[in-house]
Structure 1
Amino acid sequence: MDLPAEELQFLTIPDIFQESISIPKRSPKTFYLITLTLVFPLSFAILAHSLFTHPIITQLQQNPNSSHASQWTKLIVFQFFYLLFLFAFSLLSTAAVVFTVASIYTAKPVSFSSTLAAIPSVFKRLFITFIWVSLSMLAYNTVFLIFLVLLIVAADTQNVVLFLFSFLVVFILFLVVHVYFSALWHLASVVSVLEPIYGIGAMKKSYHLLKGKTGMAFFFVFGYLSICGVINGFFGSVVVHGGESYGVISRILIGGFLVGVLVIVNLVGLLMQSVFYYVCKSYHHQGIDKTALYDHLGGYLGEYVPLKSSVQMENLEGGPLTP
């Protein structure tokens, strides 16, 4: 991030990763508190979710013919509050990390209290963007289900090889679109925080920013989803379904370790999506005006006084101060 804006476009995947993991060192206390209060609860909820739903699902499966109205009610209520918690802390974590990274980038004084003060305004913008992305995802999921039904109806199920090949093609297309929309969402979230647009406008801006960097975005998102999938799978097989194969202490230790790993993965993922935004802006030769960004971030805190002093401008850009 210390590079000139026009050189950020040349950052490779390892460069972006190295830059991302170095950012917390510039404000360790702030990132420690963000991780503890936002990223950790999010990561813990993702993994612990199966611990609470597994007993209910097991009971439903053991007696499929019995009436389980109370169990179904518990499951539905739990799922509702889980998704509410998941989306809320996902947006809160995104808002906090993106705002803090941008503050560091513009040399704006950063603290955990200033980040918390900015979150309410940022959260509203992120939520509107999230609604638009969710509607888009709902649309392509509906299209996928329609294609899947048509495949089952039209395909020759007697030819197992042809049917499996057709299903694999549809699944790969779905996976590619899902990963692309996830990349679009992550980048649109950063746009919603750092630019005066959100919602469908942020999605359009994200779409244009991804051009030329789609492969890199696909690698990041697919890699993140794959790592999270492995962590979730390992947690489920050992901690949730381990049973007598693992002792209670072993399951607690392994579970705690996996939560810690997921916390790191989520934090680094949020940092990388922030850095990736600047890389995309640089690639498309869109000037990154630190002064305008500085003022924009100050708007979340009620600071609307523009920086007109040449001394302030030089200090912001890292130039020497003259007496």
Structure 2
Amino acid sequence: MDQTEEDMKSLGFFGIFKQSFKIIFTNKKIFTKITLTLILPLTLIFLAHMVISHHFFDKVENNSLPYDTDTTDSYNSTTVKDWTYYWLFKIIYFTFITVFSLFATGAIVFTIASIYSERDITFLDVIKIVPKIWKWLLVTFLFIYLAFIIYDVIIGLLYLSVIWELASVATVLENVYGFKAMKKGKKLLYGKKKVGMMIAFVMYAILVGLIIVIELFVEYGDDIFELGIVWRVMIGILCGLVLLVWFCLFIVTQTVLYMVCKSFHREAIDKVSLSTLLGVYLGETVVNLKHEEEEVQLGRAQNDSVVAQEV
């Protein structure tokens, strides 16, 4: 990453996407390994969930509530055994999707931080740090899930999803997790709220569109469009590849957005401190990350009097 502090500060909607793609294509080798090792399983789990839900649990999902008398008999035919298998499947799915999301997030954030701090990084280094940070990320994710339930009733999901993205990156690069990570993410978003929400909207719109395509052309392609199995498989493979890219780009953009927000708030992205933190994860430096006096973060505010204005 050859962006200066001022360059990062001024990056907007298109600039963040441009920088994200540049990072990926400039470091194709390590991102390819991360994608095949962590993001490919994430993609396959996501697609498998859709297929299995459609073919094995369609009756359970369609008959979750008997809205009228015509569906009552069908609803009653859903047995306790069906519901047991359904919820067991859901628990297994959410467990695996969460685990691989945590691993992928930690790996990509660590990689981008290493690139920014001009450290030589290998795929083995990335894999080594994942077990050291996944617990902190899990705590952050659990708090985010709880906040989703509460916040959805009041306003909506889009704003909170951006805070989640920034909180996830802060968990990896700063000595914060759980509620503190959420608070940090919210603080960083001040002044970049519109940009962050636009990026989140575009990314989630792509995901929703992709899901619709899979449902229409792969799951129900034979009924709606009379597509043969070959066409449905080809479209499914193509959608899987797009989803693979989407997962990778999603985490990269949230990390770049984090750095942009840090620069906007004049929190110096100190490459020396960042390199020290990465060395801690790799066991090169002994630092007690839990001690406030010795915490290593990705820069602190250069001027406490600076107050970011909402744009």
- Identify the residue that residue 167 of structure 1 maps to in structure 2: none
1:281 corresponds to 2:262: yes
Does the alignment pair 1:12 with 2:12? yes
Match of 2:189 among 198, 203, 210: 210
Q: Distance in 2 between matches of 1:10 and 1:282?
A: 9
Structure-2 residue corresponding to 1:100: 111
TM-score after normalising by structure 2: 0.84
Deviating more after overlay: 188-197 vs 3-12 = 3-12
* Structure 1 residue 75: Cα displacement: 1.2
CA distance in 2, matches of 1:282, 1:259: 35
Structure 2 counterpart SS, 1:2: coil
1:110 partnered with 2:121: yes
Shift of 1:264: 0.9
Counterpart residue number, 1:68? 79
Identity %: 35
In the aligned structure 1, how far is the partner of 2:28 from the partner of 2:187?
Answer: 33
3-state SS, counterpart of residue 64 of structure 1: helix
RMSD: 1.7
Contact 1:35 1:267 in 2 (8 A): yes
Provide the residue aligned with 1:85 in structure 2. 96
Structure 1 residue 237, shift from structure 2 partner: 1.3
The structure 1 segments of at least 4 consecutive aligned residues displaced by more than 6 Å after TM superposition are none
Supply the AA of the counterpart residue of 1:50.
Answer: M
Q: Give the match for residue 252 of structure 1.
A: 233
What is aligned with 2:250?
Answer: 269
Superposed, which structure 2 residues align to 1:148-227 within 5 Å?
174=155, 177-227=156-206
The answer to which of 216-225 and 55-64 deviates more is 55-64
The CA deviation string for residues 104-159 of structure 1, in whole angstroms up to 9 with x for no partner, is: 11111111110000001121111111122122122224xx2xxxxxxxxxxxxxxx
Between the two proteins, the alignment pairs up a number of residues equal to 274
> For 1:205-250, what per-residue CA distance to the aligned partner results, in whole angstroms no more than 9, with x for missing partners?
1111100000001001111111100000110111112235111111
Distance 1:21 1:217 in 2: 17
The match for 1:3 is 3
Structure 1 counterpart SS, 2:120: coil
Residue pair 1:179, 1:218 contacting (<8 A) in 2 also: yes
Instruction: Report the residue type matching 1:127 in the other structure.
Output: L
Larger Rg: 1
Question: C-alpha distance in 2, partners of 1:269/1:67?
Answer: 38
1:281 aligns to what SS in structure 2?
Answer: helix
Matches within 5 A, 1:28-39: 28-39=28-39
Distance in 1 between the 2:174 and 2:77 partners? 55
With over 3 angstroms needed to count, the CA separation of the structure-2 counterparts of 1:135 and 1:59, relative to structure 1, is closer
Q: Is the 8 A contact 1:56 1:71 kept in 2?
A: no
Distance 1:268 1:74, change over 3 A: same
Counterpart position of 1:27: 27
Q: CA deviation at 1:100?
A: 0.4
Q: Distance in 1 between matches of 2:172 and 2:81?
A: 42
Tell me which residue corresponds to 1:138.
149
Letter in 1 for 2:101: S
- TM-score w.r.t. structure 1 length? 0.81
By how many angstroms is 1:89 displaced?
1.0
Match for residue 218 of structure 2? 239
1:32-56 Cα distance to aligned partner (Å, 9 max, x none): 1111111122122223312101123
Match of 2:278 among 275, 297, 305: 297
The unaligned stretches of length 5 or more in structure 1 are: 145-172, 307-323
Is there any run of 5+ residues in structure 2 with no aligned partner, and where? 64-70, 288-311
Q: Deviations over 1:139-193 (max 9, x none)?
A: 224xx2xxxxxxxxxxxxxxxxxxxxxxxxxxxx74xx31111000000000111
Bigger relative contact order, structure 1 or 2 (CA pairs below 8 A, ≥6 apart): 1
| 2:76 counterpart letter in structure 1 | N
Contact 2:103 2:134 in 1 (8 A): yes
Cα separation, 1, equivalents of 2:47 and 2:209: 12
Tell me the residue number matched to 2:68.
none
**Is the Cα–Cα contact under 8 Å of residues 40 and 263 in structure 1 kept in the other structure?**
yes
Cα distance in 1 between the residues matched to 2:195 and 2:212 = 26
